[in-house]
Amino acid sequence: QTLDITAEICPMTFVRTRLALDRLAPGQKLLVLLRGEEPRRNVPRSARDHGHKVLSDETGPDGVTRLLLERAG
């Protein structure tokens, strides 16, 4: 599953991410595309705070961060 929140601003970035994670089964992965310094800091931290795993966090030359999350079991 992929969620593109590059046009969203905080706090909606994690709200949208959390809703997408809630629709997944435990162990399923979600690729989140985001842009901006605040979402880059807040979305991975909030995901961890809710028990989810951050598998990778990479920002490309286009400025888009690709965050791979795994839903908590």
Residues with a catalytic annotation lie at 10
What is the distance between the alpha carbons of residues 22 and 71, in angstroms, rounded to a whole number? 8
Is the distance from CB of 1 to CB of 24 less than 8 angstroms?
yes
Phi, psi of 39 (to 5 degrees): -60, -35
